[in-house]
């Protein structure tokens, strides 16, 4: 459904999740957003927690976007 909206150039609405609590992810997934991004760059959400949140978001019919991670260069 999300891909269909994108290909039809229909406006989609989404949000970023910066809190790693499962209840927050479920509430946000059920309020009508088309997509949600679990933000690992600007939050303390770990990879493991992000996976849990995506597993909560996905069955709600919301497109969970890829994670955004900034890798720090080591010198």
Angle between helix 47-57 and 22-30 (nearest 10): 30
Give φ, ψ of 27 to 5 degrees.
Answer: -60, -45
What single string gives the DSSP state of each residue in 11-73?
Answer: ---EEEE----HHHHHHHHHTT-SEEEEESSSS---HHHHHHHHHHHGGGT-EEEEEE-PPPP
* pLDDT tens for the 75 residues of the chain, in order: 677 877 888 898 999 999 999 999 999 999 999 999 999 888 899 989 999 999 999 999 998 875 665 666 555
* Residue 74 DSSP code: P
Report pTM: 0.79
């Amino acid at each position: 459904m999300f891909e269909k909206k994108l290909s039809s150039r229909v406006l989609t609405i989404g949000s970023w999740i910066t809190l790693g609590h499962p209840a927050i992810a479920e509430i946000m997934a059920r309020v009508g957003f088309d997509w949600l991004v679990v933000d690992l760059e600007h939050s303390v959400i770990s990879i493991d927690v992000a996976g849990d949140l995506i597993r909560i978001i996905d069955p709600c019919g919301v497109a969970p976007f890829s994670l955004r991670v900034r890798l720090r260069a080591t010198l």
